[in-house]
A and B are shown apart, each in its own frame.
Chain A
Amino acid sequence: MIYLDNTATSFPKPPEVTRAMMSFMTDVGANPGRSGHRLSAEAARIVFEAREATALLLGVSDSRQVVFAPNATHALNLALKGLLEPGDHVVATSMEHNAVMRPLRQLMEERSVEVTVVESDAAGRCDPGAVAKAVTRRTRLVVVNHASNVVGTLAPLARIKDAIKGALLLVDAAQSAGAVDIHAERDGIDLLAFTGHKSMLGPQGTGGLFIRPGLDLRPLVAGGTGSSSESDSQPRILPDRYESGTLNTPGLAGLGAGSRFLLDHGMEKVRAHGRDLFVRFWDGLRRIEGIELYGPDDPDERLPTIALNVRGMDPAEVGRILDRRFGILVRPGLHCAPLAHQTLGTFPSGSVRFGIGFLSTALQIDEALAALREIAKERAR
């Protein structure tokens, strides 16, 4: 079996991730920091180390500015609903995932928030100049998908931040965190949502939000934090303000191990591996008659997420044949980003998406190419 659906969630995970989770479940198990006994302290250390490693990976110097959440969707909801007030104007790109577009739709209906969508080009590239043109004096926030979940196209964050002047920048880094070097502080990012289970190699159920120091959001959830217990008001200190209720400590043990695994290998090596496999796959795909490709040719402009179609075939059928006949697991369809598919010209039928991860191999790429060659050849007959 060949797993090439790492854009949906990375698999397999490094053994260190599984070991860290097992170790928490068998040897620690306690509630982090709530009780003051040795196991509670050990659980708190695990959460702290996961936060430190995550902050390092995201280019954040003070790890308390990284608040954990169950996933990037939750983090994006916190950023959008915690920040936007009635009448605020928001600029978003046409590559946004539904994790951004659906909360924005809710806010348009419930808080009269106004949204302008800036079209990316047919390869999914976002033009900072076009974003800047959409920014008005009322623009509170610009939302940018750092790497498309459909075609992997990367957005130039620092240039966008420079172009939008006083507006705040929220980055959806669900695909990019752990896949490319991120410098949240250096690039002037105000809010950055990430998920733990994709390129960060952690388990599902982990993720979070970087909040630039000094920026206050309305918490989505209020409740117990293990601090300021005498008060029924939500604490103002971070990360407690946004982390009510018991955390997913076994998950965070895994996320910490995934982040450390990436830091140990170095993001340069992670990026180079993705680039090499992308080039190998892309060059092979371009030589197959009847394959339609989307997104930029330049490996520096994208992650190794490849969307394609076999001319004349339903993506779902291609996905089914790859799974049943070749044991190759991919994702066909619309990938929860209808606007992005419209931008790329793959709406409404979608595409077949190959998600290459850090643990993917050149041999797997070659086998995927061989399978696609056969499928395209059979179709042409």
Chain B
Amino acid sequence: MIVFPSIHDVMAFEKRLKQEEIACDLVPVPRDLSSECGMAIEVSEDDLLSAIRAQREPDNKPTGVFRRTDEGFRPVSL
């Protein structure tokens, strides 16, 4: 789960992932993670690193990356 400060950033990131042909899903942000913006981007575990690498614009950095686990969301350090 990749979280951003604004919807604009989510959209910019989604566009980049589509260009790189990385599958992603737009989902409502779980309340535990952030209230910054109502949407987040979810990618598969396998695609996470390439997704983060795909974003080269310094102004479009995520505010957090989280892994969905049975015990809830855990922050991922990259």
Residue numbers of A with Cβ under 8 A of B are 32-38, 40-41, 44-45, 47-48, 51, 62-64, 225-230, 235, 237-240
Total A-B contacts with CB atoms under 8 angstroms apart: 71
A44 and B5 within 8 A (CB): no
**Known contacts A36-B27, A37-B28, A228 near B10 by CB under 8 Å:** no
Nearest chain B CB to A125 CB, angstrom units: 39
With A44-B7, A63-B12 known, 15 other A-B pairs at CB within 8 A are: A32-B7, A33-B10, A36-B38, A45-B11, A47-B7, A63-B8, A225-B6, A226-B37, A227-B6, A227-B37, A228-B5, A228-B35, A235-B6, A237-B6, A240-B7
B28 and A240 within 8 A (CB): no
Residues of B within 8 A of A44 (CB): 7, 10-11, 39
Q: Give me 16 A-to-B residue pairs in the complex whose CB atoms sit less than 8 angstroms apart, sorted by A's number.
A: A32-B7, A33-B38, A34-B38, A36-B27, A36-B28, A40-B39, A41-B39, A44-B10, A44-B11, A44-B39, A48-B7, A48-B8, A64-B9, A64-B59, A227-B7, A228-B5
Residues of B within 8 A of A45 (CB): 11, 14
Residues of A within 8 A of B27 (CB): 36
**Known contacts A36-B27, A36-B29, A228 near B36 by CB under 8 Å:** yes
Residues of A within 8 A of B12 (CB): 48, 63-64
Say which residue of A36, A38, A51, A227 sits within 8 Å of B5 (CB atoms). Answer: A227
B28 and A227 within 8 A (CB): no
Nearest chain B CB to A227 CB, angstrom units: 5
Residues of B within 8 A of A34 (CB): 38
Residue numbers of B with Cβ under 8 A of A are 5-12, 14-15, 26-29, 35-39, 59
Residues of A within 8 A of B39 (CB): 33, 36, 40-41, 44
A62 and B15 within 8 A (CB): no
Beta-carbon nearest neighbor of B7 in chain A: A33
**Known contacts A48-B15, A64-B8, A237-B6, A229 near B59 by CB under 8 Å:** no
**Known contacts A41-B26, A48-B15, A62-B59, A239 near B8 by CB under 8 Å:** yes
A229 and B35 within 8 A (CB): yes
In whole angstroms, what is the CA distance A32 to B38 when docked?
10
Beta-carbon nearest neighbor of A241 in chain B: B6
In the complex, which of the residues A32, A235, A237 has the most CB atoms of chain B within 10 Å of its own CB atom? Answer: A237
Nearest chain B CB to A225 CB, angstrom units: 8
Residues of A within 8 A of B8 (CB): 48, 51, 63-64, 238-240
Residues of B within 8 A of A228 (CB): 5, 35-37
A226 and B59 within 8 A (CB): no
In whole angstroms, what is the CA distance A62 to B39 when docked?
21
A36 and B26 within 8 A (CB): yes
Residues of A within 8 A of B5 (CB): 227-228, 235, 237
Residues of B within 8 A of A47 (CB): 7, 11
Beta-carbon nearest neighbor of A42 in chain B: B26
In the complex, which of the residues B15, B27, B36 has the most CB atoms of chain A within 10 Å of its own CB atom? Answer: B36
In whole angstroms, what is the CA distance A64 to B10 when docked?
12
Beta-carbon nearest neighbor of A240 in chain B: B6
In the complex, which of the residues B6, B35, B39 has the most CB atoms of chain A within 10 Å of its own CB atom? Answer: B6
In the complex, which of the residues B8, B29, B59 has the most CB atoms of chain A within 10 Å of its own CB atom? Answer: B8
Nearest chain A CB to B16 CB, angstrom units: 12
In the complex, which of the residues A34, A36, A238 has the most CB atoms of chain B within 10 Å of its own CB atom? Answer: A36
In whole angstroms, what is the CA distance A34 to B38 when docked?
6
In whole angstroms, what is the CA distance A230 to B35 when docked?
6
